[in-house]
């Protein structure tokens, strides 16, 4: 009876499609939420540090020369220290330098004058007079103690300066200086501006609101290699080595460049262990401030949306692509994100943090693979359960071992499904063969008997009673032989094996004795030419005996009178090898390919062909295979045929 609990194919596919769609929506939603959280809360979750690493690499790839002829650096370098003596120098030296910078639009000192020098009390007055005469000098102060206090220049210098601005530089958590904060509020609420803003104000070109954002906001510096920013050694300027009008209408920054002054900071462009002078960082910042070419970053909400876009696109691709192409889509998306980030940085001065998107892409594929595999496993289990019911209804032997049943992986489940389908196909073939047997082979002799009965009713054509009985007996025996052969084959395929030790030598001798009368009648010799004393295997003695009988019977049928049938039994490795060779008419190569198929008979069209149902050799093959062996045949027309059967040697019974 058919299994009515198994869903129809259309229902199965609709169920699978619904479940897959649900899992896809769930995975897509989870990945979008995860990517959003990773992007929006990157500082708290630690992904911001990964973004900084990407940022440094991209900036190194895209950095281009800082081209600004309006900026000049006067560097307190090692040569100047060797020329003027140990640092710090007397402030009178700075006053002398300012006399040579009268044409500059603004002069900024990247150094603190917060302490007096008791040894030279008049130097502060000299420097204050020089600052006041110049009129466009900006001095530096510094916010200290977490923006609670200000370290200011000494009062004389502070009063003489045109403006004062702070020079604080705030490295990121990894110690690298990537940005400047141009406006700050002290804890007291006092408003402060950076030295660079003060310099532009003194120079008469104050920064635009777009270039200088609200207090506390950090601006990423597009570090460049200072090819068109002129640099002069401090001592060289004092010695008059600079051109006479080198500083006219320039923005001059004065700061330390020496290796031992400690005013260096790691930046994205410097290697590990090296640093960039603070005055060079300020020059890069001043160049960005003048050209308003800071590196911009979208706000956190917009960046979260942008990070989700590639994840969403890849999840859409997962819905239709194979696993291999889905993995390729993830790889292409990741490469595209890095390439887009680099291009936008190079030509748009926009930094897009990509860590959240990359993590989302990396996690999307394994999570989708996991969920889709779970869906497939569940549906495979349903199909296997339904097929198991079908196999039970068809009495199909389930050969799945316990280890395979305990393995819940997808490949094992697919293998189990394939095995179940193969068994059902085998059962279907058996059914088709049964229908063929009933519709053709069984009908033919019965039809002949009915034809004889009708013929006998006609007095003009009636057969003599002896002839009639002979013909009916012939067709009846043919029917019985067909039924017997079919039943034997069906039992050999389905019935459990009664396994026990079997001596193949005794089995061959028994068959020889059984067929001795037939062979003697036709003067055919059955010879066992080579064999050990014992040849033990494990199997069903009844089935093995009948299989060998079929081979011997087949050899007798196709052997001519006065010929010889040779049997041999040898051992090769862990197998017994049984040979049976006749001197019959043999077979062609194309006939050998169909020899072991049920209901197949060789040369059935010939008038002198032996009778048979075509089931004997199919029975032999089934029995030998169920015992873990193989059966082969070699034959040539006019030479004869040899069948070779290989069966396992019984454990602990080797000769």
Dump pLDDT digits (tens) for 363-400. 999 998 888 877 777 776 776 676 666 555 555 555 55
Q: What is the DSSP string of 267-300?
A: -TTSPTT--EEHHHHHHHHHHHHHHT-PBB---H
SS3 of 262, please?
A: coil
Q: Between 557 and 254, whose confidence is greater?
A: 254
Specify the pLDDT at position 550: 85
Dump pLDDT digits (tens) for 142-197. 988 777 888 999 999 999 999 999 999 889 988 899 999 999 888 877 888 999 99
Burial state string for 197-230 with b = 16 or more CB within 10 A and e = fewer than 16: bbbbbbbeeebeeebbbeeeeebbbbbbebeebb
Average pLDDT of the residues in 506-531? 89
630 φ/ψ angles, rounded to the nearest 5 degrees: -135, 155
Closest alpha carbon to 441 in 620, 622, 611, 623? 611
Specify the pLDDT at position 440: 53
Specify the pLDDT at position 436: 60
**440-443 LR contacts (CB < 8 Å, sep 24+):** 441/482, 441/599, 441/613, 442/479, 442/482, 442/483
Closest alpha carbon to 171 in 207, 209, 221? 221
Average pLDDT of the residues in 496-506? 86
User: If you count them, how many residues does the chain have?
Assistant: 655
Locate 585 and state its tokens: 């008419």
Closest alpha carbon to 92 in 127, 119, 118, 132? 127
- pLDDT band, residue 233 (cuts 50/70/90): very high
Query: Residue ranges of the domains in the chain?
Result: 64-291, 496-648
SS3 of 540, please?
A: coil
Residues 6+ apart with CB under 8 A from 476: 445, 449
Beta bridge partners of 184: 192
161 φ/ψ angles, rounded to the nearest 5 degrees: -70, 145
Q: What is the DSSP string of 124-179?
A: HHHHHHHHHHH--EEEEEEEETTTTEEE---HHHHHHSSEEEE------TTS---E
Which CATH code is given to the segment(s) 496-648? 3.30.565.10
- pLDDT band, residue 4 (cuts 50/70/90): very low
Average pLDDT of the residues in 33-58? 91
- pLDDT band, residue 274 (cuts 50/70/90): confident
With a pLDDT cut of 90, the percent of the chain lying above it is: 38
Question: Which class for 651: exposed (0-12), middle (13-18), buried (19 or more C-beta within 10 A)?
Answer: exposed
Q: In angstroms, rounded to a whole number, what is the distance separating the alpha carbons of residues 219 and 557? A: 101
Specify the pLDDT at position 549: 87
pTM: 0.62
Q: In angstroms, rounded to a whole number, what is the distance separating the alpha carbons of residues 547 and 627? A: 12
Specify the pLDDT at position 1: 39
Specify the pLDDT at position 620: 86
Beta bridge partners of 251: 71, 106
Q: In angstroms, rounded to a whole number, what is the distance separating the alpha carbons of residues 608 and 598? A: 21
Q: In angstroms, rounded to a whole number, what is the distance separating the alpha carbons of residues 380 and 396? A: 19
Closest alpha carbon to 184 in 175, 192, 173, 195? 192
Question: Which class for 517: exposed (0-12), middle (13-18), buried (19 or more C-beta within 10 A)?
Answer: exposed
Specify the pLDDT at position 307: 94
Specify the pLDDT at position 421: 65
Distances in Å between the Cα of 406 and the Cα atoms of 381, 403, 409, 413, 416 are: 13, 5, 9, 10, 12
Dump pLDDT digits (tens) for 420-470. 566 666 666 666 655 565 555 555 666 767 766 777 777 766 777 777 677
Half-sphere exposure of 403 (CA within 13 A, CB side): 0
Gap between the terminal Cα atoms of the chain: 51
């Amino acid at each position: 009876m058919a299994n009515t609990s198994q869903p129809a194919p259309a229902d199965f596919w609709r169920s699978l499609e619904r479940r897959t769609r649900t899992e896809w929506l769930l995975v897509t939603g989870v990945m979008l939420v995860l990517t959003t959280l990773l992007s929006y809360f990157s500082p708290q979750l630690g992904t911001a540090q990964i973004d900084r690493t990407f940022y440094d690499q991209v900036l190194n790839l895209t950095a281009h020369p800082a081209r600004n002829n309006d900026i000049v650096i006067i560097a307190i370098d090692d040569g100047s220290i060797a020329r003027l003596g140990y640092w710090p120098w007397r402030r009178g030296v700075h006053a002398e330098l300012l006399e040579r910078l009268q044409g500059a639009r603004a002069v900024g000192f990247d150094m603190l004058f917060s302490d007096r020098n008791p040894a030279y009390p008049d130097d502060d007055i000299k420097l204050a007079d020089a600052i006041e005469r110049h009129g466009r000098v900006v001095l530096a102060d510094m916010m200290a103690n977490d923006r609670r206090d200000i370290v200011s220049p000494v009062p004389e210098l502070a009063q003489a300066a045109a403006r004062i601005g702070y020079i604080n530089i705030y490295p990121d958590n990894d110690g690298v200086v990537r940005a400047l904060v141009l406006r700050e509020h002290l804890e007291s609420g006092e408003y402060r501006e950076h030295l660079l803003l003060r310099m532009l104000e003194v120079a008469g070109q104050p920064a635009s609101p777009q270039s200088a954002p609200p207090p506390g906001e950090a601006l990423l510096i597009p570090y460049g290699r200072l090819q068109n920013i002129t640099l002069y050694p401090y001592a060289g300027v004092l010695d008059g080595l600079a051109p006479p009008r080198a500083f006219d209408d320039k923005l001059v920054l004065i700061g330390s460049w020496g290796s031992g002054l400690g005013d260096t900071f790691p930046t994205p462009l410097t290697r590990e262990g090296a640093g960039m002078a603070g005055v060079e960082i300020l020059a890069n910042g001043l160049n960005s401030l003048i050209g308003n070419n800071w590196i911009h970053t979208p706000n956190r909400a917009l960046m979260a949306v942008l990070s989700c876009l590639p994840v969403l696109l890849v999840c859409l691709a997962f819905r239709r692509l194979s696993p291999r192409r889905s993995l390729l889509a993830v790889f292409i998306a990741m490469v595209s994100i890095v390439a887009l980030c680099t291009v936008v940085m190079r030509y748009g001065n926009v930094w897009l943090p990509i860590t959240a998107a990359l993590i989302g892409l990396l996690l999307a594929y394994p999570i989708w693979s996991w969920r889709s595999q779970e869906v497939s496993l569940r549906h495979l289990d349903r199909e296997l359960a339904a097929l198991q019911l079908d196999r039970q209804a068809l009495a199909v032997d389930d050969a799945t071992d316990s280890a395979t049943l305990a393995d819940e992986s997808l490949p094992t489940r697919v293998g189990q499904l394939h095995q179940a389908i193969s068994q059902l196909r085998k059962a279907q073939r058996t059914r088709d063969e049964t229908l063929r047997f009933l519709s053709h082979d069984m009908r033919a002799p019965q039809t002949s008997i009915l034809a004889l009965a009708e013929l006998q009713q006609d007095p003009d054509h009636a057969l003599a009673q002896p002839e009639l009985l002979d013909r009916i007996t012939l067709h009846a025996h043919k029917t019985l032989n067909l039924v017997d052969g079919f039943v034997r084959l069906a039992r050999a395929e389905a019935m459990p094996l009664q396994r026990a030790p079997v001596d193949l030598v005794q089995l061959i001798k028994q068959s020889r004795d059984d067929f001795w009368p037939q062979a003697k009648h036709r003067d055919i010799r059955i010879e066992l030419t080579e064999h050990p004393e014992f040849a033990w295997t494990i199997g069903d003695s009844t089935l093995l005996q009948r299989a060998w009988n079929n081979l011997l019977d087949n050899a007798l049928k196709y052997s001519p009178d006065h010929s010889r049938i040779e049997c041999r039994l040898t051992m090769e490795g862990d197998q017994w090898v049984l040979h049976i060779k006749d001197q019959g008419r043999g077979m062609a190569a194309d006939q050998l390919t169909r020899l072991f198929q049920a209901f197949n008979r060789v040369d059935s069209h010939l008038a002198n062909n032996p009778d048979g149902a075509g089931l004997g050799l199919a029975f032999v093959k089934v029995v030998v295979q169920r015992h873990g062996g193989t059966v082969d045949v070699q034959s040539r027309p006019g030479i004869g045929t040899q069948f070779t059967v290989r069966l396992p040697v019984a454990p602990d019974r080797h000769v």
